[in-house]
Amino acid sequence: MKSVYLDNAATTALRPQVIDRMTEVLKENFGNASSTHSFGRSSKALLEQCRKNIASYFNVSAGEIVFTSGGTEADNLALRSAVRDLGVKEIIISRIEHHAVLHTAEQLHNEYGVSIYFVEVDINGFINYVHLEELLKRSEKALVSLMHINNEIGNILDIEKVANLCESYGALFHSDTVQSIGHFKLDLDKIPVGFLAASAHKFHGPKGVGFCFIRKESGLKPLIFGGEQERGYRAGTESIHNIVGMDEALRQAYKNLEKEHKYVLGLKSYFIERLQHIIPSIGFNGGCDDLQNSTYTLVNICLPIAPEKAPMLQFQLDLKGIACSKGSACQSGSSQQSHVLTAILNADDLVKPSVRFSFSIFNTKEELDYVIDVLNEFVNS
């Protein structure tokens, strides 16, 4: 049986260079970065060099990079601290945000009584910027949290436009950039965003590590208390091998970005064209078939089959060795429909099976041909 991994939006395989670098550090740099002896100083030097390296990719200072366990923690740090410490009274989000933002906002409403407002999205899942500005005009000390790239349908937010709107109306701006860091360049010296979340395992780095960008002098305070690690923002002994792995993964991603972007975009274009030819009545959810306004890393398709047959699709794909997902990996195993698709699809399309396929540099056109043949067989059987 073939084995095809097309769930890279959920997690990615480690690059060989990352594995080599992490293995080296695990062997040689096991010291606690807070210790003052030579073993600790060696780990501390590595830690701070990684921080400087990562900051340089986004044109920010090293002190604005705070290492976390991943994107979810970074989202929580920004949102919860903004409400608790910065006087935020309103949170403006969309209904297609990641649950790390949606559920955190809901909890903040329950705990602190903050008001939650939802900016409108169109039938393809794109943010209504006019409505966002209307919300900002009548807001009182607001925090806007909108993801740069939607993890299910791939839509790209005009992050600079939103950041400038927020700045104009005195609102704080946080963006979940988990699906874009390592795949797109962001110059944060030119984009007035206050907080960003990133996760290493989305760009061929290790799981369990990420970072939060916190604009200097933001006034944000920690959520996790203990030692003075991460300049007091995030207590706890740093995972040096994971941080070094993330640094190496990001270095490789941006070093090879142009070549790899072209390659993966070619896979996506090929996949869309062949699907449209083989299964003409196929649907593409959100703006994922818009190559200019969606990420080059994924497509989300809606298959034209009877509702009673739909529950078997994921099972059949798995039997054929094809790894993909019906939505966010965080919803895996849930019987509920994707909240993203529920927000944008009509009732007829919602009962049809939708599947997200996400690509990486390790995929090939031959793999895509196999997947398309399996889909075609399922649709026409």
The residue behind tokens 């997902």 is 325
What DSSP line would sit under 212-257, residue for residue?
A: EEE-TT-----SB-SS-GGGGTB-S---HHHHHHHHHHHHHHHHSH
Please count the residues of the chain: 381
Residue 322, beta-bridge partner list = 4
User: What is the 8-class DSSP label of residue 125?
Assistant: S
User: Cβ of 264: how many Cβ atoms within 10 Å?
Assistant: 22
Collect all residues with Cβ–Cβ distance below 8 Å to 346 and sequence separation of at least 6.
none
> Do the Cβ atoms of 62 and 51 come closer than 8 Å?
yes
d(CA 239, CA 251): 18
Q: How far is CA 78 from CA 2, 146, 193, 195, 223, in A?
A: 42, 13, 12, 6, 9
Q: How far is CA 342 from CA 103, 110, 137, 176, 336, in A?
A: 17, 24, 28, 21, 10
d(CA 146, CA 136): 14
User: Cβ of 136: how many Cβ atoms within 10 Å?
Assistant: 21
Which residue in 50, 166, 212, 330 is the catalytic one?
A: 330
Does residue 302 have an active-site annotation?
Answer: no
User: What is the 8-class DSSP label of residue 7?
Assistant: B
Q: Which residues participate in catalysis according to the annotation?
A: 330
